[in-house]
Amino acid sequence: MTDIAATAPIAPKKRRRLSLNATLVVGIVLTIGFLVVALVSFFWLPSNPNIPVIKNRMLPPFLPDHWLGTDGLGRDIVAQLMVGARTSILVGAGGATVSLILGTITGLIAAAYGKLADETISRGADIMLSIPGMVTALVLAATMGSGALTTIFALTAFFTPSFTRVIRSAAMSVLQEDFITSAKLYGRGKLFILARHVIPNIAGVMIVQFTLYFAAGILTEAGLSYLGVGVTRPSISWGMMLNEAQQTVGISSPLAIWPGLAIVLVVLGLNLLGDGLRDVLDPKLKRRS
């Protein structure tokens, strides 16, 4: 007799959970791998990524001492990728964290402190979003000089207005709930309501936005460094490696492949992580399923 349980199709809810788990697991694996590589770079590197070794220039990949080969000055590619991962965390997470803090503060003020505050902050965010991010980066590079700190400032200018709008929207949705009305009837002040009721209820949104903007920060930093207005040596960035690899395109194409592949995998991992967390933490998606 045929086993009905074995042949029955997977229910939609179960299929959704399986898909959700797959997305989240892949995102977690790629993100943890990225973080582990960056952490290891503080304690061990195959060689100094900034010291040229002319006799080793343009070595092919898959050699015992140089797993991914060397660049035009004989510097090890693996060592540069490892230090680049560290830089990506510093700049991407730094820009996303500062933007999250500033965006949360301004978004909550816009949502809770009346129409004047809302209009002022919202119009200010619109003005900042209307300015091309690359223009801001070029101005900062001209006034402060290129480097990791300048790139973090540029990312903060890029991301804070978007964070503000997302947090404002989420906070206003929570402030319309009945338990907020009850808290007001009990005489709770705005600061107490924001800290006790609003922030815990939008924490999921904040976490998801942080992961997505972390990925966007890495991608933006790579673009700025590629154009020469981001990270410069002795610091190392994957975007800077792509810029340097231009000189050897057609001679040693893998020099451009490895940092490009690193950027793709890390950004993909963080986006999958953000998508998975959004599905897990969003109560509307839970009710829909």
Segment-wise mean pLDDT, segments of 10 residues, the chain, 289 residues: 41 48 85 92 89 84 83 88 91 91 92 88 88 75 77 87 91 86 82 87 88 90 84 86 80 77 92 84 51
CA dist., res. 232 & res. 239, Å (int): 10
Report the pLDDT value the prediction gives residue 3, as an integer from 0 to 100: 42
Report the pLDDT value the prediction gives residue 118, as an integer from 0 to 100: 87
Per-residue tokens: 164: 């503000």
Report the pLDDT value the prediction gives residue 250, as an integer from 0 to 100: 64
Report the pLDDT value the prediction gives residue 289, as an integer from 0 to 100: 42
Specify the pTM.
0.83
Measuring CA to CA, which residue among 192, 191, 198, 193 is closest to residue 171? Answer: 198
Angle separating helix axes 77-88 and 199-226, nearest 10 degrees: 140
Report the pLDDT value the prediction gives residue 14, as an integer from 0 to 100: 46
Report the pLDDT value the prediction gives residue 102, as an integer from 0 to 100: 94
* CA trace torsion 257, 274, 104, 239 (10° rounding): 0
The CATH architecture to which 12-51+58-288 belongs is Orthogonal Bundle (1.10)
